[in-house]
């Protein structure tokens, strides 16, 4: 017995292929949408995490800025306390400077020199006096420069020749001079070469 297929099989095959193609397109679209949603969700999560990290960093930066301000405030307070401490130390060191000034001048003054005025401004000392010769003025400068533990950087400002009338109606030549020097503070004076050189003399006098 022979069977004949009288149905339009070609049209059915084309229809089936169309349906398969549409199904594949829909499936690909769904897969693509799923991948897009997953990628979007991943990027959103990454952006959220980065924003959280940025917010944490901003908070830490604010905390560090506040700590820096606190440290600067502490540094300012420390500098103020150090300046106050230096001032107190300077006042304590300068308390006996007038005694050292007069004692040192008496020790370093060569014979034949008469001091007429001694003034001090901060650490600068101005000395005015009268000498019988310029050599005596040079001796005073040399003593203050090399033999003194309290004076440094002596400098002659002027030396002017003058005359002095004696009771015998004679006139004697004199030299009016002025010089300046720096008066050292106690810690600085202790390390000068003159202080080291004078130590054996003090010890020898004590033994005698």
Write down the pLDDT at residue 18: 85
149, 193 contact by CB (below 8 A) = no
Write down the pLDDT at residue 188: 55
Tell me, yes or no, if the pTM score tops 0.75: no
Write down the pLDDT at residue 127: 92
The C-alpha atoms of residue 87 and residue 145 are separated, in whole angstroms, by: 28
**What angle is formed at CA 29 by the lines to CA 26 and CA 30, rounded to 5 degrees?**
85
130, 113 contact by CB (below 8 A) = yes
Residues in the chain where the model's pLDDT stays below 70: 1-9, 91-96, 165-170, 186-208
Write down the pLDDT at residue 179: 92
Q: Which residue has the tokens 């799923």?
A: 34
pLDDT digits (tens, 9 = 90+) for 8-26: 667 777 888 888 888 889 9
Residue ranges per structural domain of the chain: 15-95, 97-195
Going by CATH, does the domain composed of 97-195 fall within 3.40.50.460? no
């Amino acid at each position: 017995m022979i069977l004949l297929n009288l149905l339009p099989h070609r049209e059915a095959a084309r229809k089936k292929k169309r349906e398969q193609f549409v199904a594949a397109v829909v499936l690909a679209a769904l897969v693509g949408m799923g991948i897009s949603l997953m990628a979007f969700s991943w990027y959103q999560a990454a952006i959220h995490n980065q924003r959280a990290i940025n917010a944490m960093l901003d908070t830490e930066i604010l905390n560090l800025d506040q700590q820096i301000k606190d440290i600067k405030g502490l540094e300012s307070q420390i500098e103020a306390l150090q300046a106050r401490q230096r001032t107190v130390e300077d006042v304590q060191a300068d308390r006996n400077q007038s005694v050292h000034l007069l004692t040192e001048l008496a020790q370093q003054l060569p014979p034949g020199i008469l001091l007429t005025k001694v003034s001090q401004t901060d650490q600068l000392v101005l000395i005015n006096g009268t000498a019988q010769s310029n050599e005596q003025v040079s001796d005073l400068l040399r003593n203050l420069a090399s033999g003194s533990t309290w004076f440094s950087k002596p400098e002659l400002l002027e030396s002017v020749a003058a005359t002095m009338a004696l009771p015998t109606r004679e006139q004697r030549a004199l030299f009016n001079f002025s010089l300046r020097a720096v008066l050292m503070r106690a810690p600085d004076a202790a390390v000068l070469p003159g202080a080291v050189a004078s130590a054996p003399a003090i010890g020898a006098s004590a033994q005698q």
